[in-house]
Amino acid sequence: MTGRVLLTGASGFIGRAAIGPLCEAGFEVHAVARRHVDAPAEVRWHRVDLLDREQMRVLVNVVEPSHLLHFAWYAEPGKYWTARENLDWLGASLVLLQAFSRSGGRRVVMAGTCAEYEWKDGLCDESSTPLVPSTLYGMCKHALNEVLGVYSQQYGLSSAWGRIFFPYGPHEQSSRLVPSVICALLQGQPALCSSGEQVRDFIHVGDVANAFVALLGSNIDGAVNIGSGQGVAVKEIAERIGARLGRPDLLHFGARAATEAEPPFVVADVRRLEQEMKWRPATNLDAGLATTIDWWRGELSRRSDLHPLKHRSERK
């Protein structure tokens, strides 16, 4: 499995984690991002604004990638669920898809989201769970996947769509659940949580990245859930962090109201991942939280701009 891959969102939470696995898999990696991040020296960086159609077309025509791994999207915590920018990124992704296909690209994998599913269903299955996104973010991703499917059929492109569940790990935005609890406790501050009954499918970002690289290297078609298949209550995540840091006393459950939109149970059915792709996550929750805590310990010693009390749940 080799090829020349264009990786978008390469400085983002998941994109940056995909760089190493892509190199290991033998890809010539062309990373597109607004800024460089630590990466093997052989990675080629392209500082391109993907919302600028001309810049994007020039980039694709110059690189002539055989593979496309598309993570770039608007991802501002607290805003991205409803932001108008979702329309811009849907539009930009359509331009990218067309440019990639026209320049001779063969295999494309794009990042979807579990928010495409009707969440009241609970266990989310690619083939039977209704796709009724309640947010503009979920709907724009869903619309992109639908167009990708028909476009691929009509133009002989091989394509897949990874629906990401609840990733955590190094480089996550600090206002989100796992980082905000870790940072609060590391700094001896109280962590104000909701009651935390809601169950989610958490998966380490390294596993998410590995799954996408495996998907890119396969010829699997259509949507594939990228999750662990294991449901864990948000409260349990916080308690595990509390226990590991010896500060369970700082966890205040019920101090925040759960938002109405938070469904009780969102977990991936991972049969496609396990049975068709023969892939399983390598990192269990305890090991994943341990490395994440270590990473934040280092980060806190370097950064002074992290205010742990401001976390939002972001539907986790």
Choice between 45 and 81, CB closer to a copy of itself: 81
> Which residue is it, tokens 């006393």?
249
Does residue 222 interact with a copy of itself by CB under 8 A? no
Token pair of 73, please? Answer: 């999207």
Quick one: which segment of 97-105, 202-210, 231-239, 256-264 binds a copy of itself (CB under 8 A)?
97-105
Nearer to a copy of itself, 102 or 310 (CB): 102
**Taking the CA atoms of the chain, what radius of gyration do you get in angstroms?**
19
Tell which one of 94, 123, 157, 233 touches a copy of itself (CB under 8 A).
94
Which residue's CB is nearer to a copy of itself, number 37 or number 143? 143
Closest to 73 in 3D by CA, of 90, 57, 56, 58: 90
Of positions 36, 61, 155, 282, contacts a copy of itself by CB under 8 A: 155
**The only residue of 147, 232, 277, 290 in contact with a copy of itself, by rule CB under 8 A:** 147
Rule CB under 8 A: choose which of 66, 135, 218, 228 binds a copy of itself.
Answer: 135
Which of 232, 169, 178, 226 lies closest to 200, judged by CA? Answer: 232
Confirm or reject binding of residue 87 to a copy of itself (CB under 8 A): yes
Size of interface with a copy of itself, in residues (CB under 8 A): 28
Surface-to-core class of residue 13, CB atoms within 10 Å of its CB (0-12 exposed, 13-18 middle, 19+ buried) = buried
Q: Are 250 and 106 in contact (CB under 8 A)?
A: no
The one-letter amino acid code at 261 reads: A
Q: At CA 130, angle to CA 124 and CA 135, rounded to 5?
A: 90
Nearer to a copy of itself, 142 or 311 (CB): 142
Q: Is 151 in the site for a copy of itself (CB under 8 A)?
A: yes
Residues of this chain that interact with a copy of itself (CB under 8 A) are 82, 84, 87-88, 90-91, 94-95, 97-98, 101-102, 133-136, 139-140, 142-144, 146-147, 149-151, 154-155
